[in-house]
C-alpha cells in the first residue's frame, strides 16, 4: 500500500477545513473501496482525513414525512432499520443485494454513493483508462467489456456505477445533503452522479471540498408495490450485470404512477421519464411492461461482449414491474426469480 | 503493490493505537497504512486471522470489531483506536471451545482450514446479528466467506447447530 498521512476530523466544519487546506487529501469513512484502491495504486491520496467519528449516524424522520439518513449510517444498519423496512423496503432489499455482510457492516451511506467503478481496466494501472489517468484512452471499448454500459456511455468511458443502494435511491428521487466551504446545499439524486462525457474521471457533482452529510428520502416509499432484482454471474456477492429497482402506485389493476431505475447499464443509475410516464394510467399487463421496456432501451447500444445486456435488461424490467404490480417482491436470500 | 516513486512522501510518525484484543489491552505503534489484519498478525502475533486475497473479496481475515464482523484487510488499524477486537484466538473461554468452533468440528466444516478462522468469526457475527433463520438466509449472509475446498454444506450445517445451541 502507498504511504500517507492520517488525521482525524473533529466535526463537519473541521472536516471541510482540513480537506480545503490539505492537498490531495481524501475523506475516509468505511474505507471498503478506498483502501482497496490504494492497495492497487489507483487512488494515491497523500493524506486521509478520518470522518468516521463525526456525528452523522442518525436516521431521523423529516417534517414532511420522509427520512433523513446520516451519511455515516452503515449500510447493514440502514438495511435493517425499522423505518427502512416498513416505509422503504426497496432500499433494504437493494442494500442486501450488494457486497457481503462484512462489507455492509463497514461501508457508510455516503461512501456507497462515492464508490468507484469496478471496470477491470480502471483497477489495472498497466492499462489505459480515462477515468484513472485522464487522456490515456479507454481500454474497455475494444477490450473485455462484458460488464460495461449500454446507455449513456461516451467514447471516453463505458464504465458502469457499481452500487445497488443507489439504484433504489434514484428510483425514490432521494436528495443528497452536502456541506462545503460555501455552506450547505442539496443535490437531487438524478444530478449527483455524472455521465462520463469527456471527463469520466469526475464521477459526481460533489465539490472538491464538499462532504456528504445525509441522504434524504421523500415520503413516497412504494412499500406496497416494489421490488429489487439483481442479475449477476454468481448468486451472491457479485456486482450486477443488470439490476432493477421498481416502484408502483396501484389503483386496482391500474398503475397510477410507475418508477423504475436500472443498475449495471450506465455510469449512473439510469431512469427514463418517458418509459415511466407510458405506464401511468395503464393496466399492469405484460404488454404494457414490454412497451415501457422498449422505450427505456430504445437508445441502448452494446459492445463486443455485452450486447446480451439489452435483452437481459428488457426481461428484467418486465419481471420487476410484474413483481411490483403483484406485490411479490424478490427476497434476496431466495435465488429463484419470482 | 505500491511503487517507490518520487512522489512517495516522507514516512510519517507512527501513531499510537489502543485496542482491546480478545479481552486484553494492547497498545500498538503503527504506520497509518497498517491494516488491522497486519497489526494483528505482525504486531500482536495473532496469526489465526488469515490473509487471503487482501482485497475484501474472500473473508479469510474476518474478525469482530465491537462485536460486528468486518474484513480486517480493508480496516486501517489507526481508525479503530479504542475498539474491542475479537479474533478466532479469543472465542474459546476457560478451555471450552466456542459453540461455533465445536459445531465446525462436529460437522467437519473444513478441509484445508485456511478460510476457517474467518468462517468461524463471520458465523459468530451472523448469529449475533440474528437475521438468519433458514439455510438460504445463512448462505446469503455468509456469502462474504469463500471456501475453495467447497465445504459449504457442512459450514451451513455447523452454523445451524450453533444457532440451536444458542437458542
- Residue of chain B nearest A74, judged by CA positions: B68
Q: Are B41 and B63 in contact (CB under 8 A)?
A: no
- Residues in chain A with CB shorter than 8 Å from the CB of B56 are 32, 36, 102-103
Q: Sorting pLDDT into bands at 50, 70 and 90, what band is A13? A: very high
A44 in B contact zone (CB under 8 Å)? yes
Cell 428488457 sits on residue: A314
How high does pLDDT run on average in chain A?
98
- Residue B50: φ, ψ to 5°: -100, 145
Tell me whether residues A99 and B144 touch, CB distance under 8 A.
yes
How far is B24 from B45, CA to CA, in rounded Å? 14
pLDDT (0 to 100) of residue A338: 86
Q: Is A11 helix (H, G, I), strand (E, B) or coil?
A: coil
A123 in B contact zone (CB under 8 Å)? no
Domain boundaries, chain A: 5-53, 226-326
Per cent of chain B over pLDDT 90 is: 90
B97 in A contact zone (CB under 8 Å)? no
Would the pLDDT of B1 be above 80?
no
Take residue A259 and report the three cell numbers written for it. 418508477
Which among A41, A102, A334 is the nearest to B71, CB-wise? A102
What is the value of pTM for the model shown?
A: 0.97
- Residues in chain A with CB shorter than 8 Å from the CB of B126 are 101
Distance, in angstroms, between A37 CA and closest chain B CA? Answer: 9
Would the pLDDT of B123 be above 60?
yes
Would the pLDDT of A206 be above 90?
yes
Q: Class assignment of domain B15-89?
A: alpha beta
A28 in B contact zone (CB under 8 Å)? yes
- Residue of chain A nearest B132, judged by CA positions: A333
Domain A5-53: give its CATH architecture: 2-Layer Sandwich (3.30)
pLDDT (0 to 100) of residue B13: 79
- Residue of chain A nearest B141, judged by CA positions: A101
Per cent of chain A over pLDDT 70 is: 100
Q: Is A255 helix (H, G, I), strand (E, B) or coil?
A: strand
The CATH T-level fold of domain B99-166 is DNA polymerase; domain 1 (1.10.150)
C-alpha closest to that of A148 among A170, A127, A120, A167: A120
B130 in A contact zone (CB under 8 Å)? no
pLDDT (0 to 100) of residue A242: 98
Q: Are A176 and A144 in contact (CB under 8 A)?
A: no
Q: Are A56 and A213 in contact (CB under 8 A)?
A: yes
Q: What is the pLDDT of residues A235-268, one digit of tens each?
A: 999 999 999 999 999 999 999 999 999 999 999 9
Q: What is the pLDDT of residues A266-299, one digit of tens each?
A: 999 999 999 999 999 999 999 999 999 999 999 9
pLDDT (0 to 100) of residue B3: 47
Q: DSSP character for A62?
A: -
The three-state DSSP-derived secondary structure of B5-33 is: CCCCCCCCCCEEEEEEECCEEEEEEECCC
What lies within 8 Å, CB to CB, of A209 at 6+ separation is A16, A19, A20, A180, A181
Tell me whether residues A106 and B75 touch, CB distance under 8 A.
yes
Tell me whether residues A333 and B143 touch, CB distance under 8 A.
no
Cell 438495511 sits on residue: A79
Q: Are A59 and A70 in contact (CB under 8 A)?
A: yes
Q: What is the pLDDT of residues A35-90, one digit of tens each?
A: 999 999 999 999 999 999 999 999 999 999 999 999 999 999 999 999 999 999 99
Q: Sorting pLDDT into bands at 50, 70 and 90, what band is B10? A: low
A3 in B contact zone (CB under 8 Å)? yes
Q: Sorting pLDDT into bands at 50, 70 and 90, what band is A183? A: very high
Tell me whether residues A106 and B1 touch, CB distance under 8 A.
no
Tell me whether residues B70 and A102 touch, CB distance under 8 A.
yes
Would the pLDDT of B2 be above 50?
no
- To test the contact with chain A by mutation, choose from B33, B62, B115, B129 the residue with the greatest count of A C-beta atoms within 10 A, namely B33
Q: What is the pLDDT of residues A303-322, one digit of tens each?
A: 999 999 999 999 999 999 99
Quickly list H helices, chain A: 12-21, 34-39, 75-79, 82-87, 89-97, 101-106, 109-114, 120-123, 165-171, 189-192, 273-277, 286-296, 308-326
Distance, in angstroms, between A209 CA and closest chain B CA? Answer: 22
Domain boundaries, chain B: 15-89, 99-166
Q: Sorting pLDDT into bands at 50, 70 and 90, what band is A2? A: confident
- Residue of chain A nearest B118, judged by CA positions: A102
B76 in A contact zone (CB under 8 Å)? yes
C-alpha closest to that of A244 among A312, A148, A156: A312
Mean pLDDT, residues B31-59 taken together: 98
pLDDT (0 to 100) of residue A164: 98
Q: Class assignment of domain A226-326?
A: alpha beta
Rounded to 10 degrees, the C-alpha dihedral A244/A248/A253/A255 comes to: -110
- Residues in chain B with CB shorter than 8 Å from the CB of A96 are 140
Distance from chain centroid for Cα A272? 16
- To test the contact with chain B by mutation, choose from A22, A29, A96, A102 the residue with the greatest count of B C-beta atoms within 10 A, namely A102
Take residue A321 and report the three cell numbers written for it. 414491474
Amino acid at each position: 500500500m502507498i504511504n500517507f498521512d492520517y488525521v482525524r476530523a473533529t466535526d463537519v466544519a473541521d472536516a471541510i477545513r482540513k480537506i480545503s487546506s490539505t492537498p490531495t487529501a481524501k475523506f475516509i469513512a468505511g474505507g471498503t473501496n478506498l483502501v482497496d484502491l490504494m492497495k492497487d495504486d489507483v487512488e494515491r491520496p497523500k493524506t486521509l482525513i478520518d470522518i468516521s467519528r463525526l456525528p452523522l449516524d442518525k436516521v431521523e424522520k423529516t417534517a414532511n414525512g420522509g427520512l433523513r439518513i446520516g451519511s455515516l449510517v452503515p449500510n447493514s444498519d440502514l438495511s435493517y432499520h425499522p423505518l427502512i423496512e416498513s416505509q422503504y423496503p426497496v432500499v433494504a432489499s437493494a442494500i442486501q443485494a450488494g457486497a457481503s455482510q462484512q462489507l455492509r457492516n463497514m461501508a457508510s451511506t455516503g461512501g456507497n454513493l462515492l464508490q468507484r467503478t469496478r471496470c477491470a481496466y480502471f483497477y489495472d494501472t498497466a492499462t489505459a483508462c480515462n477515468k484513472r489517468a485522464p487522456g490515456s484512452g479507454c481500454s474497455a471499448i475494444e477490450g473485455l467489456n462484458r460488464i460495461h454500459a449500454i446507455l449513456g456511455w461516451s467514447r471516453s468511458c463505458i464504465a458502469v456505477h457499481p452500487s445497488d443502494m443507489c439504484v433504489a435511491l434514484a428510483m425514490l428521487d432521494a436528495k443528497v445533503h452536502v456541506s462545503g466551504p460555501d455552506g450547505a446545499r442539496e443535490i437531487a439524486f438524478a444530478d449527483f452522479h455524472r455521465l462520463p462525457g469527456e471527463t469520466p474521471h469526475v464521477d459526481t457533482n460533489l465539490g472538491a471540498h464538499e462532504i456528504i452529510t445525509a441522504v434524504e428520502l421523500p415520503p413516497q416509499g412504494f412499500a406496497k408495490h416494489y421490488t429489487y432484482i439483481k442479475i449477476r454471474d454468481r448468486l451472491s456477492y457479485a456486482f450486477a450485470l443488470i439490476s432493477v429497482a421498481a416502484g408502483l402506485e396501484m389503483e386496482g389493476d391500474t398503475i397510477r404512477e410507475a418508477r423504475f431505475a436500472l443498475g449495471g447499464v450506465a455510469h449512473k443509475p439510469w431512469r427514463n421519464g418517458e418509459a415511466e410516464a407510458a405506464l401511468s394510467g395503464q393496466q399492469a399487463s405484460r404488454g404494457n411492461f414490454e412497451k415501457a421496456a422498449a422505450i427505456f432501451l430504445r437508445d441502448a447500444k452494446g459492445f463486443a461482449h455485452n450486447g446480451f445486456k439489452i435483452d437481459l435488461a428488457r426481461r428484467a424490467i418486465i419481471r420487476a414491474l410484474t413483481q411490483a404490480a403483484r406485490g411479490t417482491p424478490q427476497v434476496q436470500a431466495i435465488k429463484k426469480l419470482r | 503493490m505500491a511503487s517507490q516513486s518520487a512522489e512517495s512522501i516522507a514516512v510519517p510518525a507512527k501513531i499510537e493505537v489502543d485496542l482491546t484484543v480478545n479481552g486484553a489491552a494492547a497498545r500498538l505503534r503503527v504506520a497509518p497504512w497498517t491494516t488491522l489484519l497486519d497489526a494483528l498478525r505482525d504486531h500482536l502475533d495473532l496469526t489465526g486471522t488469515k490473509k487471503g486475497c487482501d482485497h475484501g473479496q474472500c473473508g479469510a481475515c474476518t474478525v469482530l470489531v465491537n462485536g460486528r464482523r468486518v474484513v480486517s484487510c480493508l480496516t486501517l488499524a489507526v481508525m479503530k483506536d479504542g475498539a474491542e477486537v475479537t479474533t478466532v484466538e479469543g472465542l474459546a473461554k476457560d478451555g471450552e471451545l466456542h459453540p461455533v468452533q465445536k459445531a465446525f468440528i462436529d460437522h467437519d466444516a473444513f478441509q484445508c482450514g485456511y478460510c476457517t478462522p474467518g468462517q468461524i468469526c463471520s458465523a459468530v457475527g451472523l448469529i449475533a446479528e440474528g437475521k438468519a433463520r433458514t439455510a438460504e438466509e445463512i448462505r446469503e449472509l455468509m456469502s462474504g466467506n469463500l471456501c475453495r475446498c467447497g465445504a459449504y454444506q457442512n459450514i451451513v450445517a455447523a452454523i445451524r447447530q450453533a444457532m440451536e445451541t444458542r437458542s
